[in-house]
Amino acid sequence: MESTAETDALAALAHPGRLAVFRLLARRAPGAVPAGEIAEALGLKPNTLSVHVAALARSGLATSRRDGRSILYAVDLDRVGALLAFLVNDCCRGRPELCAPLAAQALRRLDEGTGPMTDRIFNVLFICTGNSARSIFAEAILAKEGAGRFRAFSAGTRPYSELNPEAVAVLKRLGHDISGLRSKNVEEFQRPESPKMDFVFTVCDSAANEECPPWPGQPITAHWGMPDPVKAVGTTAEKALAFTEAYRTLRHRMTGFLSLPVATLDRISLQKQLDDIGLSAAPDERQAG
């Protein structure tokens, strides 16, 4: 990046509204977010959002593309990386003794939170807004399919929620043990005595859009967003099908997750694999065979 580009990027981030949009896009990276969803999540008017994303695009920090009638925005990770490199390029030049303590501290944190994934049982948390269907599906599937390798949890960001009866019916029909399932709030897993998470997945866009405090231990995070079956409309059969499809998609993604050699992959490779899984959909059984 040239100095003018760096100045433009920093100027774009200097505005609180643009910074909020950028942070939301960064949380959803590498995926793209519809303009309407950004505006709703941040409480912005459409014309205000247009001004913000236009400034981020001009500075090179964000990209846009049209998908039907929607415009999708995404953070440009390459340009962000170049900006970060520019900011630290001259750090302590000629005075290494100034940077050494900071570098040592950063390495200690890296070792604590992102060291090698040893062959052990991993804790996995699935987050949604309500913890009534999608995150409950994910918890139940991983608890059954990953028993002995993974310990599954789920939670919602809303203060209170209940298990959706249709979701419970799907799990019963497919042979899952539902005796220990309950709706939980995310605060239950942010206490000092809570289990330390190795993986944290958001399974709905609304939860991913929320700005949450960092998780202790720096777990690997990914977004596995999908439509909410609770909001499905139509006949009783069509609504029931939405729950079945949500279950199938999550089970398909869980199969991909369980096939990963977690204990041998480095963090960057594992993150890429998890991001790719989050973009996958279950095969259409109607077209199979």
Catalytic positions:
128, 204, 212
Q: 13-24: buried (b, 16+ CB within 10 Å) or exposed (e) per residue?
A: beeeebebbbeb
Q: Which two tokens stand for residue 231?
A: 């909001």
Tokens 């939860």, residue located: 207
Cβ contact 15:89 at 8 Å: no
Q: Residue 270's closest CA among 209, 214, 199, 213?
A: 199
CA pseudo-torsion sign 233, 234, 239, 242: negative
Phi and psi at 198, nearest 5°, equal -95, -30
Distance CA 289, CA 286 (A): 8
Q: Which two tokens stand for residue 220?
A: 């690997």
- Identity (one letter) of the amino acid at 130? G
